[in-house]
Amino acid sequence: MAQFSSVKRDPRSFLREEYDKLVSQDLDWRIRILASSNGPWTVVSGKKALMLCSNNYLNLTNHPKVKKAALEAIEKFGAGSGSVRPIAGTMQAHVELEEALAKYKGTEASLAYSTGFAANAGLIPQLAGEGDLIISDELNHGSIIDGVRLSRAERTVFKHRDAEDLGRVLNDAEKKNYKHILIVTDGVFSMDGDIAPADEIAKLAAQHGAMTYIDDAHGDGVLGDAGRGITSHFHIEGKVDVEMGTFSKAFGVVGGYIAGSRDLVNYALNKSRTWLLSASHPASVVASCKASIEVVEHEPEHLKRLWENTRYFKAGLRKLGFDTGASETPITPVIVGQSSTARKMSDMLFDENVFALPIVFPMVARDKARIRTIMNAGHSQADLDFALQAFEKTGKALGVI
């Protein structure tokens, strides 16, 4: 047997130390386990609870057509795809999804990635490199931040949703002679539910010869005509160079994508390592995604219910005296202050059979801890009244209202 000489320091001790530190600051994740599908009500930690923290906005994860598409695709194409997309992992189902998506988004072409995270991490670093500049909204999603970190481009931020500040950054950039400038922003910001001024951003980008990239993960299926997303919301179709999104939220399945010009897609599929080197989705997944798009287009009632619920619930929270921040979408934060208060409130809500998670530092500022709620088209008004009663009770008990 090999002899290992002893070393003074345990190279693994940091694992426990870091974890203990997170626990002591109330910043660790405590995972709750679902014993049913992710719907307006669910069974979580052994208890039936009203779901307020799912991204399944339109409840499509439970839609019969979306489920049936997966079952049929498994029968035809098998359980796995067997390869990466460029080798032997592009099945008819993948191509059909990309054609359907491009048509839905009104773009020349689209490209499916395994996840939204993989799209951002794989494509952003290929769109700007040495001698280029990436300009980000300061509150962009972590997957954008990681994508930017993988690039050799210079990087800078503009103030959150502040087109004037973006103009200032672009004016400064003119003096530096960058080859390319890429402006990246979330469409809907996932922690606050506010919307990027995409119209003004697109206009500034055109004036300065910059390229635009909007991550519409929380806008697709939610904003605009038939959920076509932020470009439809602002009537700026065709004015955003890269429309990136995900099937894991309103579409109720999983998978990232980009939509834009044919040139963009040809470039992206040849350059994104997360696309080239990671297995493609099983056909069941992409078939479900395609069915989801069809449902969103042809059954407008889901989107209508989502927005009715959103207006009703937001108004109810505000009437109770809660601070719901700057939200303009079905993502409604209930800002409570300290992370320990948010934690406590989430636990108390769960005692009342309401499942809503705290969002704490580092995802939001230390003093802006919150319960983040997300509406679902499958909630009834009685469900929302039930939730509002629980918020009133726990909010009063904790002195939040």
- The pairing of beta strand 331-337 with beta strand 369-374: antiparallel
Among 133, 153, 217, 285, binds ligand PLP (CB under 6 A): 217
Contact 256, 116 (CB under 8 A): yes
Instruction: At 278, list the tokens.
Output: 């990671």
- Which residue sits closest to ligand PLP, CB atoms considered? 116
Helix (H) or strand (E) holding 188: none
Nearer to ligand PLP, 224 or 256 (CB): 256
Residue 185 engages ligand PLP in binding (rule: CB under 6 A) = no
Closest among 298, 299, 317 to 309, alpha carbons compared: 317
Tell me if residue 218 is catalytic: yes
**8-state DSSP, 265:** H
Nearer to ligand PLP, 256 or 333 (CB): 256
Tell me if residue 314 is catalytic: no
In the sheet that holds 41-44, the strands lie side by side as 41-44, 47-51, 354-355
In the sheet that holds 211-215, the strands lie side by side as 109-113, 256-260, 242-246, 211-215, 181-186, 133-137, 154-158
Among 63, 85, 141, 228, binds ligand PLP (CB under 6 A): 141
Among 57, 77, 117, 234, binds ligand PLP (CB under 6 A): 117
CA distance 108 to 71: 30
Interface segment toward ligand PLP; rule CB under 6 A; list 163-171, 210-218, 314-322, 354-362: 210-218
Q: Give the count of residues interacting with ligand PLP (CB under 6 A).
A: 14
Q: Looking at this protein, which amino acid is placed at residue 81?
A: S
Residue 246 engages ligand PLP in binding (rule: CB under 6 A) = yes
C-alpha Rg value of the chain to the nearest Å = 22
Residue 218 engages ligand PLP in binding (rule: CB under 6 A) = yes
Nearer to ligand PLP, 131 or 142 (CB): 142
In the complex, what is the shortest distance from the CB of residue 102 to ligand PLP, in angstroms, rounded to a whole number?
18
* Residues contributing to the site for ligand PLP (CB under 6 A): 115-117, 120, 141, 143, 186, 190, 215, 217-218, 246, 248, 256
Catalytic residues: 190, 218, 249
